[in-house]
Amino acid sequence: MKFAHIADVHIGCWRDPRLKELSSLAFIKAIDDAISEKVDFILIAGDLFNTALPGIDQIKTVIRKLKHVKKAKIPVYYIAGSHDFSPSGKTMLDIIEEAELGINVTKGNINSEEKLVLEFTTDNKTGAKITGMIGKRGMLEKKFYENLDKTNLEEAIGFKIFMFHTALDEMKPEHLKDMASSPASFLPKGFDYYAGGHVHIVSERKLPEHGYTRLVYPGPTFPANFSEIEKLGHGGYYIYEDGELKRKDLIIKKSLCKTIDVNKKTSEEAEKIIEESLEKENCEDKIVLLRINGKLKSGRANDINFKKIIDNIYSMGAYFVMKNSTKISSEEFEIIQLEHGSVEEVEEKIINEHLGQIKNNFKSESSAVKELIHILSSEKHEGEKVTDYESRLKKEMDLFIKENSE
């Protein structure tokens, strides 16, 4: 048996069109590689899109590639992640299944004891039994796991795959310590492969003593923010073949990450240090990241001519340049700064600082706030009237509040 495990594609996540294109190219390369590897099937463990209702161009990119997969007679099995899940239940993933370009394996029903009973989707060629759970922002999928009847899943015979889009306590790295997570015991035991998503890390863990043979996070197909490019450099995915796991790198563009210390320098000295540190670097066709740290003894960050520095890097042939100067402070000025991190990390920090200020009936105030932010951040669809857009958001919010209030 041979299959590809992909997760966290996030088509459309970057605002800049150059990086948005790289994200799409990474997905295209992953699919082309999987086809050339002659896999039996492909797993996508959530967040194929960055939003439940993406733009037309992003939809075309995915549909075009999934048609290639179908032509190669390779099934695609997927679950909804925290980004491509929609509280209204309307998502582009439904269109993919309706067009017979993929199969959503999160299927089941509620039994007489109000427990969620998941069903298996069986791969015709290999006989692999696949099921999985959706991911929602702020660990709102937790209640599904708590109400999950695991009996039929654990007793089933054959090669079994469980797809999940959740952070696990046992695999969460230190830099994501504030991310909401759950213990591995939330998952049903006795599966041959646990195909994870949501946590943008490359990690494999075996907990056989607890009933979990192979828990796997493949990382994103392309880094989704500044810090991910620093940590990962590039995206990738996994190929599983008869018990062996092989990492497949997706290097669309190489990256150059420079961390420069300007502590106890003037703003003029800092500018010179930054320029000199880049003089001998090969920036040709690379994503160049500049992270500047330190407390200036005089001047401030705004006095450093970053535009000139960045223009010079582009003249050296760089594909794209990003800088992070939030850690520059000054002895002369008090600067109010947000702690740098991913959007989710900054969001989490701000929400936690303001919890409990307003009386509410939410089962989990933190999780509810995150989901409401997600609903309100939904963009107006092409051709959608403003009144229809506002009505849609109101319906989604009313439905969410009704389902998540005590």
**DSSP string for 314-343:** HHTT-SEEEEEEEEEEESS-----PPP--H
d(CA 161, CA 164): 10
Q: What would the pLDDT profile of 285-327 be if each residue is shown by its tens digit?
A: 999 999 999 888 888 888 889 999 999 999 999 999 999 888 8
Q: Where in the chain is the domain with CATH 3.60.21.10?
A: 2-250
- Predicted confidence at residue 336, as pLDDT, reads 46
pLDDT at 338 over 60: no
d(CA 253, CA 26): 10
Q: What is the token pair recorded at 236?
A: 């990738």
Q: Which of 5, 10, 68, 83 is catalytic?
A: 83
- Strand, helix or coil for residue 128: coil
Confidence band of 101 (pLDDT split at 50, 70, 90): very high
The candidate with the shortest Cα–Cα distance to 203, out of 184, 218, 191, is 218
Q: What would the pLDDT profile of 190-214 be if each residue is shown by its tens digit?
A: 999 999 999 899 999 988 888 888 9
The candidate with the shortest Cα–Cα distance to 213, out of 223, 204, 221, is 204
254 contacts 287 by C-beta, under 8 angstroms: yes
Mean pLDDT score across all residues of the chain: 85
153 contacts 178 by C-beta, under 8 angstroms: no
The candidate with the shortest Cα–Cα distance to 351, out of 375, 326, 371, 377, is 371
The candidate with the shortest Cα–Cα distance to 190, out of 209, 205, 212, 219, is 212
Q: What would the pLDDT profile of 153-190 be if each residue is shown by its tens digit?
A: 889 999 999 999 988 888 888 888 777 788 888 899 99
Instruction: Write the CB contacts of 91 (distance below 8 Å, at least 6 apart in sequence).
Output: 52, 53, 80, 84, 85
Confidence band of 335 (pLDDT split at 50, 70, 90): very low
The burial class, CB within 10 Å (0-12 / 13-18 / 19+), for 199 is buried
Q: What would the pLDDT profile of 212-224 be if each residue is shown by its tens digit?
A: 889 999 999 999 8
- Strand, helix or coil for residue 193: strand
Q: What is the token pair recorded at 20?
A: 């948005």
Share of the chain above pLDDT 70, in %: 89
pLDDT at 383 over 70: no
Average pLDDT over residues 117-133: 93
- Predicted confidence at residue 22, as pLDDT, reads 94
Query: Is beta strand 129-132 parallel, antiparallel or unpaired with respect to 121-122?
Result: antiparallel
d(CA 163, CA 105): 8
Confidence band of 236 (pLDDT split at 50, 70, 90): very high
Tokens 């500018």 appear where?
271
Query: Is beta strand 41-45 parallel, antiparallel or unpaired with respect to 76-79?
Result: parallel
The candidate with the shortest Cα–Cα distance to 251, out of 236, 241, 239, is 236
Per the annotation, the verdict on 83 as an active-site residue is yes
* The model's pTM: 0.79
The candidate with the shortest Cα–Cα distance to 233, out of 242, 243, 223, 248, is 223
How are the residues of the chain apportioned to helix, strand and coil, as percentages rounded to the nearest 5? 35, 25, 40
43 contacts 3 by C-beta, under 8 angstroms: yes
Greatest CA separation for the chain: 72
Angle at 110 between CA 107 and CA 116, to 5 degrees: 65
Check whether domain 2-250 has CATH 3.40.50.20, yes or no = no
| Burial track 25-46 (b if 16+ CB lie within 10 A, e otherwise) | bbbbbbbebbbebebbbbbbbb
Tokens 């295209």 appear where?
28
Q: What is the token pair recorded at 287?
A: 């994503």
d(CA 181, CA 215): 15
Helices (H) and strands (E) counted in the chain, each on its own, are 11, 17
Share of the chain above pLDDT 90, in %: 43
Q: What is the token pair recorded at 327?
A: 């850690």
d(CA 138, CA 375): 13
- Predicted confidence at residue 158, as pLDDT, reads 93
